[in-house]
Amino acid sequence: GTKKKAACPGLGLFYTVLSAFLFSVASLLLKKIEDVHSVEVSAFRCVFQMAFVLPGLIYYKTGFLGPKGKRIFLFFRGFLGSSAMILLYYAFQVMPLADATVITFSSPVFTSLLAWIFLKEKYSLWDLLFTLFALTGVVLIARPPFLFGSRVSGIEGNYSDHLKGTIAAVASTVSAASTIVILRKVGKSVHYFLSIWYYAVIGLIGCIVALFVMNEWRLPYCGKDRVFLILIGLLGLGGQIFLTKALQIEKAGPVAIMRTMDVVFAFILQILFLNHLPTWWTVGGALCVVASSSGTAIRKWRHSVKKAKHNEI
């Protein structure tokens, strides 16, 4: 179907910037929460998503399980999507906000690679170059001692936590890319609300099991942290809504490029509220990753435009 025209020029891009800002503020609040495990924060986020999606499922009469032939894909979409969220929240808690945000923006590169492997989509030399750029950016942010020496500057806490956070952020990025590949495989045969429902339900079950195994479940000690938990759920939900609205009225390419504002907001919020100046290594890594993800988005956008013109002819 054709996309609806925006009510005013640039409205979709404005929604994208607003979505990026809400996601960035949610990440900042996550850094400010004390003594609450990332898995518990993820559980609260899943509860908010379930509360939002449930009325939609009832209204559209989609059911709660989905088509029989698609349930296995929905299960893996929910499992990988919730795993990506938990790993990302853990990365936000143990490493600088800007570093974790930058690594997540290598997702389009990994999506292209996985789509080539599993969906047989085209993977050109340009895609390979963008992949190498993204990996270079991740290395600059991780700063392994065997390349950068034993004294690693610009990290929070000890290097062991920084390395764990980097691994978690990369694993989150790969998981998020895998969910996009699964959604492409499913196509439009499954309603969008049903996809989010699986994400929230499987994520909540996984979080509850993990919290009991790790014995990490606890209510925040102060009222401020409880307010932060509620705000994280609301801001994350708001970010998803505005990003979805942006994709409904704007082409995917410009939206993907404008989403790099996440990185800009992360740098600004880290400096203003966390008093942590990013190192030049982080800036260099950010430039590599942003260039890589933007290049991938532009190539996909140009390809879709050429395909649309060819179909018109």
Can you tell me the distance from the alpha carbon of 188 to that of 241, in angstroms, rounded to the nearest whole number? Answer: 18
CB 40 within 8 A of CB 211: yes
C-alpha dihedral sign at 198, 199, 201, 207 = positive
pLDDT of res. 156? 67
pLDDT of res. 2? 46
Listed residue (219, 202, 228) closest to 92, CA to CA: 228
pLDDT of res. 115? 84
pLDDT of res. 21? 93
Structure token digits, residue 271: 């400096």
The DSSP output letter for 2 is: P
Can you tell me the distance from the alpha carbon of 88 to that of 115, in angstroms, rounded to the nearest whole number? Answer: 22
C-alpha dihedral sign at 212, 168, 29, 279 = positive
pTM for this structure?
A: 0.81
pLDDT of res. 172? 92
pLDDT of res. 170? 92
Listed residue (246, 294, 287, 272) closest to 108, CA to CA: 294
Tens-of-pLDDT digits for all 313 residues of the chain? 444 444 566 788 888 899 889 989 999 998 888 778 888 888 888 888 888 888 888 888 877 887 787 888 889 888 998 898 889 888 988 888 888 888 888 887 888 888 888 888 788 888 888 888 888 988 888 887 766 666 666 676 678 888 888 999 999 999 988 888 887 777 667 777 788 888 889 989 988 888 888 877 777 666 788 888 889 888 888 888 788 777 667 776 677 778 878 888 999 999 898 888 888 888 888 888 888 888 887 877 777 777 767 666 6
CB 170 within 8 A of CB 138: yes
Burial 240-269 (b: 16+ CB within 10 A, else e): bebbebbbebbeebbbbbbbbbbbbbbbeb
